[in-house]
Amino acid sequence: MHARRCRAYNKNVSTSILNADLHCHSVVSDGTLTPEELAVRAKANGVELWALTDHDEIGGQDRALAAAHANGMKYLTGTEISVTFANKTVHIVGLGFDAHDAQLVAGLHQTRGGRSERAQEMSEGLAKVGIHGAYEGALKYVGNPELISRTHFARFLVEAGVCQDTPEVFRRFLTEGHPGFVPHRWASLKDAVQWIVQAKGMAIIAHPARYGFTPNEEFALFTEFKNYGGEGVEVITGSHTPAEYVVYADMAQELDLFASRGSDFHSPNESRIDLGTLPWLPGQLTPVWEALAHRIQ
Ligand code: AMP
Ligand code: MN
Ligand code: MN
Ligand code: MN
């Protein structure tokens, strides 16, 4: 019984008690704050170890590292890669990689490609239901021309008074079966995990409760992910309910995965969970930051 249980029993439980926030977004993807503003906010909320994880992008990493150090925080490099698995979009967080790794840089560039065209098609879909100028409207919120996302459309539709808030926009317009939804093929699970791993980082399944997979699909996701070299799962995230913390804490133990903690903060006005304010990781889990100690800057 099991290396896993022995390790859990022997490990120094206090390593779980660290205010690590290893998932958030800046204006380099679909957040509303700059890397510097996020660092100040994280520090004010007591974050000790921070990672900026922009979607499909690492253009903010040098600024985030400098801002972390300027605010007396430790830092792990980060990103959140969009993947297509079983016809759904899955997010894979990468942490602690070499941000100048050529294969990772190229893979992310390739993953971002096609976002503009997809956005034009989303705009055409919205025009058909009488919402005009959505592409141009969304662009006003975009900080990085290579990274126009559904979030930017959501902000425009709220501004235009079509919806009250961004969850309503997603519910009515931007998810499967609705007029602004355009199916898109992102990176493969295998490529995303391998880009991160060969760049000396750790691949982590982001917010697993969000995907709505059947138990069989979820099992396939975790199995393939591990086979490709993935090692971590987000347990404590702004996207999970307390009941889901328990489900995925069990899963982390069962599958011998390292556990991560991150708010998924995007904006002071939109995010339910602020930087650094989540519950601690359960003490029986081995935190990703223990396995990545040698990659912390
Ligand atoms: P995209 O990468 O363009 O498909 O946009 C995905 C982003 O949309 C996610 O990272 C979230 O920030 C946001 N998002 C997805 N679903 C929702 C939702 N139901 N409510 C609010 N934001 C959402
Ligand atoms: Mn996002
Ligand atoms: Mn995500
Ligand atoms: Mn995210």
pLDDT in tens, 235-254: 999 999 999 999 999 999 99
Q: Quick one: pLDDT band at residue 18, thresholds 50, 70, 90?
A: very high
- The answer to whether position 267 is within a domain reads yes
Q: Which domain holds residue 135?
A: 115-172
- The answer to whether position 128 is within a domain reads yes
Closest residue by Cα to atom 2, ligand 1, is 149
Which amino acids bring their CB within 6 angstroms of ligand 1? 30, 55, 82, 149-151, 166-167, 170, 266
Q: Is 174 helix (H, G, I), strand (E, B) or coil?
A: helix
Q: How many domains does the chain have?
A: 2
Stretch 83-91: mean pLDDT: 98
Which ligand is closest to the CA of 264, given by its number? 4
- The answer to whether position 93 is within a domain reads yes
d(CA 165, CA 297): 37
Q: Do 145 and 103 fall into the same domain? A: no
d(CA 284, CA 93): 22
For residue 148, pLDDT over 90 is answered with yes
Residue 245 CA to ligand 1 center (angstroms) comes to 21
Q: Do 143 and 157 fall into the same domain? A: yes
Stretch 147-171: mean pLDDT: 98
d(CA 69, CA 90): 31
Q: Do 127 and 221 fall into the same domain? A: no
Stretch 70-79: mean pLDDT: 99
Stretch 2-9: mean pLDDT: 41
d(CA 247, CA 239): 13
Render pLDDT for 38-65 as a digit per residue (tens, 0 to 9).
Answer: 999 999 999 999 999 999 999 999 999 9
Render pLDDT for 124-147 as a digit per residue (tens, 0 to 9).
Answer: 999 999 999 999 999 999 999 999
- The answer to whether position 35 is within a domain reads yes
Q: Do 66 and 55 fall into the same domain? A: yes
Largest CA distance in the chain: 62
Strand partners, 287: 259
The CATH code of the domain that includes 131 is 1.10.150.650
Q: In whole numbers, what is the pLDDT of the chain averaged over residues?
A: 95
- The answer to whether position 179 is within a domain reads no
Q: Do 149 and 285 fall into the same domain? A: no
> Any alpha helices (H) in the chain, and if so which ranges?
3-10, 35-44, 61-70, 102-112, 115-128, 134-139, 150-159, 166-169, 189-198, 215-227, 242-254, 288-291
Q: Quick one: pLDDT band at residue 90, thresholds 50, 70, 90?
A: very high
Q: How many CA atoms lie within 13 A of 136 on its CB side?
A: 4
> What are the percentages of helix, strand and coil residues in the chain, rounded to 5?
45, 15, 45
245 to 34, 45, 69, 232: CA distances (angstroms): 29, 22, 30, 14
Residue 70 CA to ligand 4 center (angstroms) comes to 24
d(CA 125, CA 111): 23
Q: Quick one: pLDDT band at residue 3, thresholds 50, 70, 90?
A: very low
Global pTM reads 0.96
User: What is the model's pLDDT at position 116?
Assistant: 98
Q: Do 91 and 140 fall into the same domain? A: no
User: What is the model's pLDDT at position 188?
Assistant: 98
